[in-house]
Structure 1
Amino acid sequence: MTEPVDLPTDLPTDQPADLSAFIKAYDVRGVVPSELNEPVVRAIGAAFADVVVLPETSAGARPQVVIGHDMRPSGPSLVAAFADGLNARGVDVVSIGLASTDGLYFASGSLGIPGAMFTASHNPAQYNGIKLCRAGARPVGQDSGLAAVRDLAGAYLTRGVPTVEAVGTVSTRDMLADYAGFLRGLVDLSGIRPLKVVVDAGNGMGGFTAPAVLGTEAGLPALPLDVVPLYFELDGTFPNHEANPLEPENLRDLQAAVVEHDADLGLAFDGDADRCFVIDEHGDPVSPSAITALVGLREVARERAAGRTPTVIHNLITSQVVPDLLTAAGARTVRTRVGHSFIKAEMAQNDAIFGGEHSAHYYFRDFYFADTGMLAALHVLAALGGQPHPLSALAEQYQPYVASGEINSVVASVPEARARVVDAYVTRQGAGPVTVDELDGLTVSHWDGHPQWWFNLRASNTEPLLRLNVEAADEDIMEKVRDDVLALVRQEQA
């Protein structure tokens, strides 16, 4: 491996710029141009070269980084600045242009080089950001290099980026067809019954990838799919609705279109198309936990058929149905914290075949342990089209419990609000014997008793918020636990 770069010792000793406002635990995300602009991004590119790229480059090899961007108007200029920072440190750039985030992960994985994806995902139009990864699409988070990139970029922004003698180059490469072909090779849809599917791209990158993967624009054979496009025009100003399907109001157009077109299902992608939400033929959402169970069972069966014991990862907010069904099918399930960096780390550590989150991120070992909404969509289409029943009937077996969804509460004091809940449910055990863990926030479970319920209470990393998720065996119990915990959380202090 190449030795870490020796930074110049004769730089001015000015205080490094503080970039912590928009370089967070998982990625870079800020307002353009007040936070993210060309000088800032150039410094981040140079720091990424020194912290991640050069130390991982084999001796004698040319260091390379692959870069993609979504449809936001600020993308191309920020990519150019980032590439300039990389070039200044002697790193070559492979630009793939417009891409979904999972398209960039595919490029990093297939080319075997680090990557940078310029996107702010579902954030409003004034934002942009960068998702960084090591070679093979391995994540770069706060504890795996991002904090060091932040600090060095702050120094470079203040003191200047040092330029090596043999600067890097920039080349372009179109990888959309390769991406589409790779996904098609993982899930065979050629033999399914004909399906009509409405796809809401939200003016995001799903409008770029869906025609290639589900259609014929990448030169692949036609599938037995009648795709009804909704908001496929790439537009980073999001003129129709925010590209965040996690918010119910952003699904309404898709729900109406599914019913209007008498479609078999609907698919909604977020801005960078790495998440996928599913709507059944009645226009009702299918929970991401149900999709995790459905796809997980398919991957578990495939792994067991190959004579291997499968492992599936799920975060602690997913429904109890996920470990219930997957364990019964012969899988080992691993429960983890919320957040893609934790999921990806557990995926790699456990050689897990699949992972799912309540936020509709789905991770696949066959996709470099990275998340891809499109591959999850292909699995849903294969499962639906491989049997005669409608999606509502298929999904029903994966949604036996009732969930509250995530409920945010602004509180005067997070520790005091949390303490009231601990006192009521743990110290005094007013609800009867419970199990408690603090893997990520506070999880209290009464699942082994009667009635069955659990809740998780997590603090926001950036705001005075507590996030509550409740699940129970029936609606009445869920509502009672939800309301009781919220009353404690929101209780006014004397």
Structure 2
Amino acid sequence: MIDSAIFRAYDIRGVVETALTAETVRRIGCAFGSEMQRQGLERACVGRDGRTTGPMLRDALVDGLLSTGVDVIDIGMVPTPTLYFATHHFETGTGIMITGSHNPPEYNGLKMMMAGGALYGDQIQTLYQRIVADDFAQGEGQLQITDVLAAYHSRIVSDIKLDRPLKVAVDCGNGVTGVVAESLLRDLGCEVTMLFDDVDGQFPNHHPDPSKPENLNDITKAVLDNGLDLGLAFDGDGDRVGVIDNQGQVIWPDRQMILLSEDVLSRNPGAPIIFDVKCSRLLAEAIENAGGQPVMWKTGHSLVKKHLADLKAPLAGEMSGHIFFKERWYGFDDALYVAARLLEIFSKRSESVAEIFAAIPNSINTPELNIHFAEGEHHAFMAEFSKLAWDGAEVSNIDGVRADFVDGFGLVRASNTTPSLVIRFEADTAAGLARIQDQFRAAMLNVAPDLELPF
């Protein structure tokens, strides 16, 4: 029996040996290859991150794919964006990355793309249905083992030009960016101080998730102790980056997006820039002020990636740290490339990174808050919560309920990856934040009086 819970909204993920076994992954390979055959696709790229279970799952996945008659290009241990790059470089449009992203060490998973688009939702369920029905194509595919890191590296270096060298600390968190980050940044012209760049799937130093402030202590100390220009902290598989300025302040992704948007819009006036419902309303204002069209969209890297392609937007970003460049790049989320683009902007300015961001408006906001539910009950809560009326607010229902007031916003949405609610607040003042939280507290308790709220 295969555990259906591992087939999630944007990917496949589970604890290895219990939910995600080698046999399960082999059968996923069979299903994926069969779906490729149905669509007339002949070749898939396969990569893996630095988790200890990666080689075993790679063998199982490749075995399954080859058994359906599709050819496999194995690019070895690489960051997730390098796998995305390989699908362009080898013109397959199709690939699978074996990665547990920022989950604990016992997890692993698969991020998949086919015919140029990320697999999500019903497409992932289609694979599950094929496995249940044992509906697999038969054949004998060919395996090619090749390196693509050098091509990826040189593609970024040929695109990015720094006007002056920057002093940068880099924390790879023992994730897979350790295979490329140092050489890439040195070749761009940076002076680099490396932390935890040996790939170790047990993550012995700290968890490789830069969206959590407690994981940024080491990089902050390195920047301050050495008087560096900035710090970069990558997640486990290299599709998100945390940024620390020269004063040790965290530059959260929605503020990174303000700077990136202004830069992109200077060359692409009037273009749409996409961001998810968790982002600051100051981002929308900044996009408008820079002559762009702000487009708020649902959270989820696969959903944002598709919307970017649909709207032909040059840039999109999520509060979680997934940032997607179509201008000069391929439209996938790539933390190494995003870091390089930020460095390029910083190098053209005489001010320090802290001074650059001090000139960008800021707000008072909460981190992402979560309330955990029994499986499915968070959707039942949202069905009721979304019926409520909000006085004095502009309400968006594209993903949960986001109420924008004159001086701030509140958001409650159902997570697509765990049975929980995701909550966030922002305001111009502490008093405004308290008022918006009071309004949301009353509304949420109106729907579920026993709810324990984290605010």
TM-score above 0.5, yes or no: yes
Per the TM alignment, residue 183 of structure 1 is displaced from its structure 2 partner at its CA by 1.6
Does the C-alpha gap of structure 1 residues 435 and 127 become closer, same or farther in structure 2, counting only changes over 3 Å? same
Structure 2 CA distance, aligned partners of 1:409 and 1:38?
33
Per the TM alignment, residue 273 of structure 1 is displaced from its structure 2 partner at its CA by 0.8
Residue 395 (str. 1) matches residue 357 (str. 2): yes
Does the C-alpha gap of structure 1 residues 422 and 195 become closer, same or farther in structure 2, counting only changes over 3 Å? same
Residue 344 (str. 1) matches residue 344 (str. 2): no
Structure 2 CA distance, aligned partners of 1:162 and 1:37?
21
Among residues 163, 182, 186, which one is paired with 2:155 in the alignment?
Answer: 182
Structure 2 CA distance, aligned partners of 1:369 and 1:433?
37
Per the TM alignment, residue 417 of structure 1 is displaced from its structure 2 partner at its CA by 6.2
Query: Are 1:353 and 1:364, in contact at CA under 8 Å, matched by a contact in 2?
Result: yes
Residue 409 (str. 1) matches residue 368 (str. 2): no
Moved more, 461-470 or 118-127: 461-470
Residue by residue over 1:284-339, the C-alpha shift from the partner in whole angstroms, topping out at 9 and shown as x without a partner, is 101110101111221121224xxxx4221111111112221112222122211000
Residue 168 (str. 1) matches residue 129 (str. 2): no
Bigger-Rg structure (1/2): 1
Structure 2 CA distance, aligned partners of 1:422 and 1:148?
30
Per the TM alignment, residue 420 of structure 1 is displaced from its structure 2 partner at its CA by 8.7
Query: Are 1:288 and 1:358, in contact at CA under 8 Å, matched by a contact in 2?
Result: yes
Per the TM alignment, residue 188 of structure 1 is displaced from its structure 2 partner at its CA by 1.4
Structure 2 CA distance, aligned partners of 1:462 and 1:385?
38
Per the TM alignment, residue 464 of structure 1 is displaced from its structure 2 partner at its CA by 5.0
- Name the amino acid aligned to 1:152: R
Gaps of 5+ in 2: none
- Which residue does 1:482 correspond to in 2? 437
Structure 1 CA distance, aligned partners of 2:237 and 2:373?
32
Query: Are 1:321 and 1:398, in contact at CA under 8 Å, matched by a contact in 2?
Result: no
Residue 57 (str. 1) matches residue 40 (str. 2): yes
Structure 1 CA distance, aligned partners of 2:259 and 2:299?
20
Per the TM alignment, residue 387 of structure 1 is displaced from its structure 2 partner at its CA by 1.1
Query: Are 2:169 and 2:230, in contact at CA under 8 Å, matched by a contact in 1?
Result: yes
Query: Are 1:198 and 1:254, in contact at CA under 8 Å, matched by a contact in 2?
Result: yes
Per the TM alignment, residue 46 of structure 1 is displaced from its structure 2 partner at its CA by 1.0
- Which residue does 2:10 correspond to in 1? 26
- Which residue does 2:413 correspond to in 1? 458
Residue 212 (str. 1) matches residue 183 (str. 2): yes
Q: Percent identity?
A: 32
Give the TM-score taking structure 2 as reference length: 0.92
- Which residue does 2:321 correspond to in 1? 360
Does the C-alpha gap of structure 1 residues 418 and 79 become closer, same or farther in structure 2, counting only changes over 3 Å? closer
Residue 131 (str. 1) matches residue 93 (str. 2): no
- Name the amino acid aligned to 2:356: L
Does the C-alpha gap of structure 1 residues 115 and 415 become closer, same or farther in structure 2, counting only changes over 3 Å? closer
- Which residue does 1:471 correspond to in 2? 426
Moved more, 117-126 or 460-469: 460-469
Residue 333 (str. 1) matches residue 288 (str. 2): no
Residue 230 (str. 1) matches residue 208 (str. 2): no
Per the TM alignment, residue 104 of structure 1 is displaced from its structure 2 partner at its CA by 0.3
Residue 443 (str. 1) matches residue 381 (str. 2): no
Among residues 72, 92, 99, which one is paired with 2:78 in the alignment?
Answer: 99
- Which residue does 1:200 correspond to in 2? 171
- Name the amino acid aligned to 1:467: V
Per the TM alignment, residue 462 of structure 1 is displaced from its structure 2 partner at its CA by 5.8
Question: Tell me, what secondary structure is at the counterpart of 2:4?
Answer: coil
Per the TM alignment, residue 474 of structure 1 is displaced from its structure 2 partner at its CA by 2.0
Residue 247 (str. 1) matches residue 212 (str. 2): yes
Residue by residue over 1:131-163, the C-alpha shift from the partner in whole angstroms, topping out at 9 and shown as x without a partner, is 001244x211113x211112212333xx8x663
Question: Tell me, what secondary structure is at the counterpart of 2:5?
Answer: coil
Structure 2 CA distance, aligned partners of 1:162 and 1:65?
15
Structure 2 CA distance, aligned partners of 1:476 and 1:151?
51
Question: Tell me, what secondary structure is at the counterpart of 1:122?
Answer: coil
Q: How does 1:267-346 map to 2 (within 5 A)?
A: 267-304=232-269, 309-346=270-307
- Which residue does 1:14 correspond to in 2? none
- Name the amino acid aligned to 2:217: R
- Name the amino acid aligned to 1:187: I
Structure 2 CA distance, aligned partners of 1:151 and 1:411?
27
Structure 2 CA distance, aligned partners of 1:85 and 1:127?
20
Does the C-alpha gap of structure 1 residues 175 and 487 become closer, same or farther in structure 2, counting only changes over 3 Å? same
Give the TM-score taking structure 1 as reference length: 0.85
Structure 2 CA distance, aligned partners of 1:459 and 1:324?
26
Structure 2 CA distance, aligned partners of 1:415 and 1:211?
43
Question: Tell me, what secondary structure is at the counterpart of 2:278?
Answer: coil
Moved more, 482-491 or 272-281: 482-491
Query: Are 1:421 and 1:485, in contact at CA under 8 Å, matched by a contact in 2?
Result: no
Structure 1 CA distance, aligned partners of 2:344 and 2:39?
39
- Name the amino acid aligned to 1:249: E
Number of equivalent positions? 445
Structure 2 CA distance, aligned partners of 1:462 and 1:489?
21
- Which residue does 2:129 correspond to in 1? 151
Per the TM alignment, residue 418 of structure 1 is displaced from its structure 2 partner at its CA by 5.6
Residue 45 (str. 1) matches residue 6 (str. 2): no
Among residues 95, 98, 113, which one is paired with 1:118 in the alignment?
Answer: 98
Structure 2 CA distance, aligned partners of 1:461 and 1:19?
18
Does the C-alpha gap of structure 1 residues 334 and 86 become closer, same or farther in structure 2, counting only changes over 3 Å? same
- Name the amino acid aligned to 1:54: Q
Query: Are 1:39 and 1:81, in contact at CA under 8 Å, matched by a contact in 2?
Result: yes
Gaps of 5+ in 1: 1-16, 216-221
Structure 1 CA distance, aligned partners of 2:380 and 2:37?
46
Per the TM alignment, residue 169 of structure 1 is displaced from its structure 2 partner at its CA by 1.3
Query: Are 1:287 and 1:399, in contact at CA under 8 Å, matched by a contact in 2?
Result: no
Question: Tell me, what secondary structure is at the counterpart of 2:423?
Answer: strand
Query: Are 1:42 and 1:84, in contact at CA under 8 Å, matched by a contact in 2?
Result: yes
Structure 2 CA distance, aligned partners of 1:400 and 1:66?
42
